[in-house]
Structures are given as C-alpha cells and as structure tokens.
Chains A and B, each alone.
Chain A
Amino acid sequence: MAEPVTEAAHAAAGAAAEHGSGGLPQFDLAQWPGQMVWMLIIFGILYFLFSKVFVPKLGNTISAREDRISGDIAAARKMKEESEAQAAAVAQEVAQARAQAQKLAGDAKAKAKAESAVRQAEEEAKLAKSLAAAEVRIFEARDKALSQVSGIASDTAEAIVAKLTGKAATAAELKAAVTA
C-alpha cells in the first residue's frame, strides 16, 4: 500500500539496496549501516555515563540514605538504652539515699531514745534520792514532833493537875499518865 512512497524514498536516497518483500521503509538496507553505527556510538556514550556517573551516584545515594537511617535508628536505640540505664542508676541512688536516710533517722531516734532514757533514769534516781532525803526529814520531823507531843502532854497534864488539885504532880506520875 505504501509502495510508491518507499520507491520514491529509495530513488531520493539513491539507494541501490534490494527491497524487502513488504516494501516497508525499515527494510531498506541502505539505511541500516548509518543507523547501526550511530546507535552503537550513542548507546556507548550512554553506557559510559551510566556506568561511570549515574548508577554509582544513585546507588551511593540510596545506600548512604539507608546507612544513615539505620545509623540514626541505632544511635536513637543506644541513646534510649543509655537513658534507661541512667534512669535505673538514678532510681537506685534514690533508693539507696532513702535507705540511708531512714537508717540515719532510725539511728538518731534510737540514740535520742537511749539518751532520754538515761537522762530520765538519772532524773528519776535524783528524784528518788531527794524523795528519800525528804522522807527521812519528814520522819525526823515527825519523830521530833512526836517526842515533843509527850512533853507538851506532860506539861499540859501538869498544868491541868496543878489547876485541878492545886498541887504539882511529880514527874514520874506525869510520865506514867502521859504514856498510858
């Protein structure tokens, strides 16, 4: 169907190549060598660019990105682990400090208790001592008072007897009367 066109082209190109059966312009072998040579040249240049520039560059970029992402993740994981370790250490320190503080407080309390107990005992001893002294004094005073009571009684009795009888009673009589 396109025979006249290809024929004209052949004539224009001045090609003496034998025609393909279909009469397609693609089968005009006169046009092959130029296209083949140029294609190989262009393909060769492209191949050179791809193998020396584009493929290494793109490959490096992609692998660098992957490395960086995995590196960042590893760093983040490491930091997380570190912070967790630090948090654990801090918690341990706090617990230790608390235990120490509790121990200190306990010790202080026990010490204070012991001291106060000692002081109390001392005070108590002092008090008991003064109490005893006081008691002794009281007893002495009572005894004294009591001994004076018999004197008063005999005096009173003497006075009463003298008033009643008009004569003084003897000392022996008074004593017997008072002690009776």
Chain B
Amino acid sequence: MAAIEPMHQFMIQKIVDLPPVMVPGLGAIDLSITNSVFTMMMAATIITVFFLFSSRGAVVPGRMQALAETVYDLVDKGLTGSMIGDRGRPFLPFIFTLFSFVAVLDLIGMFPEQFAVTAQLAVTATLALLTFFIVLVVGFAKNGLGFFKLFVPSGVAWPMLFILVPIEFISFLVRPVTLAMRLFGNIIGGHVVMYMFGSFVVGLGGFAIANGGLAYLGLVGSALSLSMVIALMALEFIVAFLQAFVFAALTCTYLSDVVNLDHGH
C-alpha cells in the first residue's frame, strides 16, 4: 500500500534545468522551469488564447465572447466600478489580470495530476506584495504625504488616536500577509483534505478486499469517503473561483482606500 503523503503534491520538481542567473545584490537565482513555473505558463497561455479568440469585437457575441464579456462586466462593474468608483478605471487591467491569473491557476489545480500553484506561498506572497507595493505607490502618487491620513480615522476624539493610529498602521502592514495566507491556506487546505479522503477511498477499499471477513465493513467507509471527495470537489471549484474573486475584491478595497482618500471612506 502506498504511503499517505498529502504534501507530496506540493513538491516543486524541475522540468527544464537552466543554469542559475546571477543577480547583483541577490545572489544566484535558479530560473529552471519547474512544475510550478510550467503551470503558470500554461495558465498565461490559456488566458491569452481565450481572450484572443473571444475578444474579436463582434457586435453580436458568440458563446466565448459572451463569457469574456461577462467576466469583463464582473471585473469592470462588480469589482473596480462598485468598489473604487470612476477613479478605478486605470486599475481595471491590473484587477482583471489578477483575477484571471488567480482564477485560472486555482482551476488548473482542480484537475488531476495538475500542480496547484496557488497553494505555493511563494506565489501568493508575491501577488500579495505586488498588490501591497502598488497600493503604496498609488497612495503616495495620488496623495503625497496625505497618504498618512489613511492611518488617522476621522471623527474620533484625539486621545483615542494614540491607540487607533498604531492599530490602523499594523492592520495596513498585515494586509499582504493575510492576502497571501488566505489564498494559500484555502487552496492547500482543500487539496490536502481531498487527498486524505481520496486516500481513504483506496486505503479502506484495499484493506477490505485484502483481509475479507469483518474487514468488508471498510467498503462502507470507502464509499462514504468517495461521496465526500465528490462533495469536496464541488466545494473546491466554488472556492477556486471565490478566492480569486476575494483576492481581486480586497485589492480593490485597498486601492479604493488610497484612491478615494480625500473623499472619506
């Protein structure tokens, strides 16, 4: 019987070995194509092909174009429009890229033998830090030093500010951590639980068939585990989409904080 190794699916494996690149100040960086990198390339290719073929600009849209336009509407009106407002327009491509990239990576991870890139903390942390720095840059570019008003809640008695300003500041700094951890935790958790129930299906079934007699009760457990796997699959597909949406939505909220700082929020 195969050992139960729920974390094995998250192992990085090299596909194409490339010599390490020397980056001044950072040292050698191994830019080999791994399963993680390969899956990211696959996601980018899927997104590119899909949007190339579905944004042909027909006045009467076909199925693919209708789907692409639905996603566009979701990101345009549902995310940037409703959360940032008119000033969110310039961020539409960024939010759109973020949402599509995370959603497609999540969904690729749902297929058997495919690598779950969004269960790699390195990737989610990079996305979260990218968002964090964009919020910082946009915040200072739009507001200058007025950016620091973000940490000063309005309409509060001034002695309270001694407590509130540090809290606001810490909560701002923690944002990339929660953003990265939320996506990472959701995807890794779902995959581990699915793996565990999947291994119960095989393990209990194999045990029952190998030992016979009373051990046939194991088939009941195996069947129950199988139904759990099916239910979890459905749930994880929802989670895959939802986490991409949540990531994009939170990015919108953070951008809205700094873009609409002078309007109050």
Contacts and interface: CB of A to CB of B under 8 A. Distances in A.
B195 to A, nearest CB: 11
A64 B123 contact: no
Contacts of B29: 33-34, 37
Contacts of B61: 61
Contacts of A40: 126, 130
B24 to A, nearest CB: 14
A1 interface: yes
Interface in B1-21: 4-8, 10-12
A37 B47 CA distance: 20
A64 B57 CA distance: 9
Contacts of B5: 2, 5
A42 B12 contact: no
B97 interface: yes
Interface string B54-95: 010111010001001100110010000000000000001110
Interface size range of chain B in the complex: 35 or more
A39 B8 CA distance: 22
Interface string A29-56: 0111111111110110111011101110
A23 B125 CA distance: 18
B57 A60 contact: yes
Contacts, number: 139
Nearest to A58: B72
A61 to B, nearest CB: 4
Contacts of B32: 34
B26 A35 contact: no
Interface residues of A, number: 43
Contact of B127 (A13, A39, A60, A65): A39
Contacts of A49: 48, 51
Interface string A105-145: 00000000000000000000000000000000000000000
A46 B31 contact: no
Contacts of B30: 30, 33-34
A65 to B, nearest CB: 6
B6 A1 contact: yes
A160 interface: no
Interface stretch (B36-44, B166-174, B229-237): B36-44
B222 interface: no
B208 to A, nearest CB: 24
A59 interface: yes
A16 to B, nearest CB: 12
Contacts of A53: 51-52, 55
Contact of B58 (A27, A35, A36, A61): A61
B259 interface: no
B57 A35 contact: no
B126 A39 contact: yes
B127 to A, nearest CB: 7
16 contacts: A5-B7, A23-B7, A24-B188, A25-B10, A26-B122, A28-B12, A31-B36, A31-B120, A35-B34, A38-B37, A46-B44, A50-B100, A54-B51, A55-B96, A62-B69, A64-B59
Across the A-B interface, the 8 shortest Cβ-Cβ residue pairs: A2-B7, A51-B93, A35-B122, A32-B122, A57-B55, A54-B51, A50-B93, A61-B57
Given A47-B93, A68-B59, 12 more contacts: A2-B6, A5-B5, A26-B10, A26-B122, A34-B34, A43-B101, A46-B44, A51-B97, A54-B55, A57-B55, A58-B68, A59-B72
